[in-house]
């Protein structure tokens, strides 16, 4: 038998970390490459690409983005996964 919890807060992003990334996507007009169904990973990937491009072009990374890199645990965990996948892809 299934048990359902009535506490909706179990399903919410309590720290608003995901919402913070989405707001940055909107603020800097970052284009996302959306999959068929919207997924937070689309925003994370778009922000990673945006940061990478700024770094390559030797542009200044805005402080609010730096703040997300330092404090957003969801984004940092996703970033580590992406970096590890890239390392595996290019390791000899």
Report pTM: 0.79
Band the pLDDT of 90: cuts 50, 70, 90: confident
Would you kindly state where each structural domain of the chain is located, as residue ranges? Answer: 16-90
Please tell me the distance from the alpha carbon of residue 25 to that of residue 92, in angstroms, as a whole number: 35
Burial of 87 (0-12, 13-18, 19+ CB in 10 A): exposed
Q: What is the average per-residue pLDDT within 12-25? A: 80
pLDDT per residue over 26-73, tens digit each?
999 999 987 666 678 899 999 999 999 999 999 999 999 999 999 999
**Which is nearest to 74 in space by CA: 26, 23, 18?**
18
């Amino acid at each position: 038998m299934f048990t359902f919890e009535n506490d909706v807060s179990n399903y919410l992003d309590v720290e608003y970390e995901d919402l913070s990334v989405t707001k940055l996507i909107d603020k800097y007009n970052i284009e996302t490459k959306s999959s068929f169904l919207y997924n937070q990973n689309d925003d994370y990937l778009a922000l990673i690409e945006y940061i990478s491009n700024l770094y390559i072009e030797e542009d200044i990374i805005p402080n609010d983005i730096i703040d997300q890199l330092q404090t957003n645990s969801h984004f940092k965990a996703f970033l580590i996964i992406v970096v590890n996948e890239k390392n595996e892809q290019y390791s000899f």
